[in-house]
């Protein structure tokens, strides 16, 4: 079994400034959520069977809860860094640093996972024999082309985002509408093919599906680059997540209804949406090739958006004295060039090391689940921060929307914990099963000397404004 991945953009006019408006920030959220992941998801969860659709439904509810929570928190505290800023404001610099470090791992390791998943579709056209050396070179090109675009400035990044999101949205829209007319009810049986209980199957598939929603927080992370962040960050987070959720659910139903789970699990169908498109047409592979081209563009778009985000968290932390100062330096084009280059370098190293001694499917799975763990940590602390803030508000007599906010935060916390709990590989070898935890733990430990070095220079967090 393998897994999936995700992540950048939607239609908008040319930028009139170096900040993102509502359309652009919504595009960033959608593009950060929709990437290569959804296009590889059916292959990743095929071993569980159509019951995975239930897991996707639950994951969608969890993603909407996270989006609602981040929307409320960003309106109250529109600080650059999003989840990092919330954890720091609520619990101090120590936990603030750990959340920033964890999210930074999420961003660059996630880019590595996107690049590996992107290779699945590129190799429909080149390197059909999956020679490891060429696979690595293809993945590295997928990492560094978006890095160059981002180094050119925010205007270049935003324009690139628009067109890549439009192109990536087309196959999803077609599959979630026209594809439904080609669904066969017989393909939804057997319902659970995992050999485990229904609860275990849903849980295992849910961790993979949750990863495909990674990115709901990107507008809050990039708040400093959004115009009127108190207003636009929350709205773009909700709009982007809802739009992504709709095409996710309906297109996934179509793919599982067009091809049986046994066919989706075949290595030859790693490019699941291409396989479904070919099944609809019934002759030749031209339809699948068109979908593959759209996914290749989608992957580059996702990497483009996440390459911006990967430098935003260390930029915000460096401004607060938690990360080395070089991460806060901006180039002549107004971008954190050092953070972009270092983060892309780490993603490149992760790709190279992961490919050594492993096949593409295992590489993709491990990187995806590792990223799931490191993203769930800041999600969970954001939920705890919101619960803490809202309970304190209640003590001062502020009750508007109190119970709704607390319920949304509680669901977000539960989703985050489930994300971590189920982020395990399926394999006979313990080191493969627990590989995502070992990699996440090892990368997290590397932050300890950085924290000790930066501790004397850390500034005090800004006070949290009153609820409004």
Consecutive 10-residue runs of the chain (468 residues): their mean pLDDT? 38 46 79 76 86 92 91 86 91 94 91 85 86 91 91 68 69 85 91 88 83 81 78 86 89 92 80 86 78 83 84 90 93 90 93 69 71 91 96 79 93 90 72 81 92 93 84
pLDDT value of residue 3: 40
Percent helix, strand and coil across the chain, each to the nearest 5 = 75, 0, 25
Tokens read off for 204 = 């295992």
Helix (H) or strand (E) holding 62: helix 52-76
For residue 434, the tally of other CB atoms under 10 A from its CB is 16
- pLDDT value, residue 9: 34
Q: Write down the CATH number for the domain with range 22-457.
A: 1.20.1740.10
Q: What is the pLDDT of residue 11?
A: 31
With tokens 């319902």, the residue in question is 191
pLDDT at 220: 80
Distance in angstroms (rounded) separating the CA atoms of residues 442 and 438: 6
Tell which phi-psi region holds residue 172, choosing left (phi > 0), alpha (psi between -120 and 50) or beta: alpha
Per DSSP, 7 falls in state: -
Residues 6+ apart with CB under 8 A from 386: 69, 72, 73, 86, 405, 408, 409, 412
Residue recorded with tokens 């040319």:
14
Q: Residues with Cβ < 8 Å from 400, sequence gap 6 or more?
A: 467
Report the residue count for the chain. 468
| Residue-level pLDDT at 14 | 35
């Amino acid at each position: 079994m393998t897994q999936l991945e995700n992540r950048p953009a939607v239609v908008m006019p040319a930028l009139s400034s170096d900040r993102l408006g509502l359309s652009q920030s919504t595009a960033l959220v959608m593009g950060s959520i929709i990437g290569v992941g959804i296009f590889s998801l059916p292959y990743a969860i095929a071993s569980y069977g159509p019951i995975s659709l239930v897991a996707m439904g639950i994951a969608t509810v969890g993603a909407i809860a996270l989006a609602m929570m981040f929307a409320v928190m960003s309106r109250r505290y529109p600080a650059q860094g999003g989840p990092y800023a919330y954890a720091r404001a609520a619990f101090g610099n120590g936990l603030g640093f750990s959340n920033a470090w964890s999210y930074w791992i999420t961003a660059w390791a996630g880019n590595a996972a996107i690049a590996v998943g992107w290779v699945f579709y590129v190799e429909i056209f080149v390197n059909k024999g999956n020679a490891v050396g060429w696979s690595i070179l293809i993945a590295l090109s997928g990492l560094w082309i978006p890095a160059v675009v981002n180094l050119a400035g925010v205007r270049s990044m935003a324009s690139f985002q628009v067109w890549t999101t439009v192109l990536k949205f087309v196959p999803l829209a077609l599959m979630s509408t026209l594809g439904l007319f080609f669904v066969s009810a017989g393909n939804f049986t057997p319902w659970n093919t995992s050999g485990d209980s229904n609860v275990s199957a849903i849980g295992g598939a849910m961790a993979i599906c949750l990863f495909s929603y990674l990115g709901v927080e990107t507008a809050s992370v990039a708040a400093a680059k959004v115009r009127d962040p108190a207003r636009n960050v929350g709205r773009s987070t909700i709009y982007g997540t809802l739009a992504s959720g709709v095409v996710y659910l309906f297109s996934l139903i179509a793919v599982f209804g067009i091809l049986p789970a046994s066919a989706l699990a075949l290595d030859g169908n790693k490019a699941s949406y291409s396989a479904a498109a070919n099944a609809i047409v019934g002759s030749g592979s031209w339809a699948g090739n068109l979908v593959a081209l759209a996914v290749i563009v989608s992957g580059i778009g996702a990497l483009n958006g996440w390459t911006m985000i990967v430098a935003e968290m260390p930029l915000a932390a460096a401004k607060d004295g938690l990360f080395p100062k070089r991460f806060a330096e901006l180039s002549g084009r107004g971008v954190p060039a050092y953070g972009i280059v270092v983060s892309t370098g780490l993603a490149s190293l992760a790709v190279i090391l992961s490919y050594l001694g492993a096949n593409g499917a295992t590489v993709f799975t491990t990187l995806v689940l590792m990223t799931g763990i490191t993203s769930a940590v800041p999600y969970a602390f954001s939920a705890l921060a919101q619960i803490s803030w809202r309970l304190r508000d209640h003590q001062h007599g502020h009750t508007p929307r109190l119970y709704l906010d607390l319920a949304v935060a509680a669901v977000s916390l539960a989703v985050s914990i489930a994300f971590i709990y189920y982020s395990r590989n399926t394999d006979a070898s313990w080191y493969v099963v627990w590989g995502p935890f070992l990699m996440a733990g090892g990368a997290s430990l590397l932050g300890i000397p950085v924290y000790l070095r930066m501790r004397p220079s850390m500034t005090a967090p800004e006070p949290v404004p009153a609820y409004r």
